[in-house]
Structure 1
Amino acid sequence: MKEERGFTLVEMAAVLLIISVLLLLLVPSLSDGKSRADQVSCEGSVRIVESEINLHYAEHKAYPETLEVIKRASAADPLIYSCQSSTYTYSPTDGSLKKQ
């Protein structure tokens, strides 16, 4: 009689269990990486806006009245800068952006 070779049901279940455990460990770390990348990207964007505000000050000896002057305002409010899920308020008196 010819002996057939292959995996048993128990062996296949064990492999699926191991793969499931590895996925459970991997998926949360991937989502944490994306949120961290979004945060770093937003911080970089805020630095760019602050540089544009300072450049405007250097050229005009005054801070821009609104962020529309440097074309960075949100559609709803000219003193608000939105980045990802963060919102920053612009103060034209000192040229600062403060996180809300």
Structure 2
Amino acid sequence: MLKNNQGFTLIEMLVVLMVISVLIILIVPNLNSNSENINEKGCDALTAVVQAQVDAYYIDEGSYPGSLQVLASAGYIKNEQIECPDGRQLIYSGSSGSVSSP
């Protein structure tokens, strides 16, 4: 009598591992190169949010805040929003009320 042995052969397992390895080799370099682009877009978005809060402060108070710390202490932004996610400090010009990313 023949036995019905179910399972995978060594060749089938090697083919599956080879396909997974090729996919990993193709995907991992793309993830690394996109992280800089993601950080840049995140910093641009944060700059736009902080600029909107500076404008809201100007509407409420009638003058621009002296610094981003003043804006944070007044509750318009959080202390974490003073710098970009990658650690770069936002640049604030108190005289014109403009916020820019470095």
Q: TM-score, normalised by structure 1?
A: 0.66
| Secondary structure of the structure 1 residue equivalent to 2:90 | strand
Stretch deviating more after TM superposition (87-96 or 23-32) = 23-32
User: What's the counterpart of residue 87 of structure 1?
Assistant: 89
**Any idea what the Cα deviations from partners look like across 1:3-34, whole Å, max 9, x if unmatched?**
66543322221111011111222334455666
Number of residue pairs aligned between Structure 1 and Structure 2? 96
If asked which structure has higher relative contact order (CA below 8 Å, sep 6+), I would say 2
List alignment gaps of at least 5 residues for structure 2.
none
> Could you tell me how far 1:39 is from its partner in structure 2?
4.2
1:53 aligns with 2:54: yes
4+ long deviations beyond 6 Å: none
**Any idea what the Cα deviations from partners look like across 1:35-64, whole Å, max 9, x if unmatched?**
655544433322121011112222333211
List alignment gaps of at least 5 residues for structure 1.
none
Residue 46 to residue 98, structure 1, CA distance change in 2 (3 Å):
closer
Identical columns (%): 30
| Secondary structure of the structure 2 residue equivalent to 1:83 | coil
User: What's the counterpart of residue 62 of structure 1?
Assistant: 63
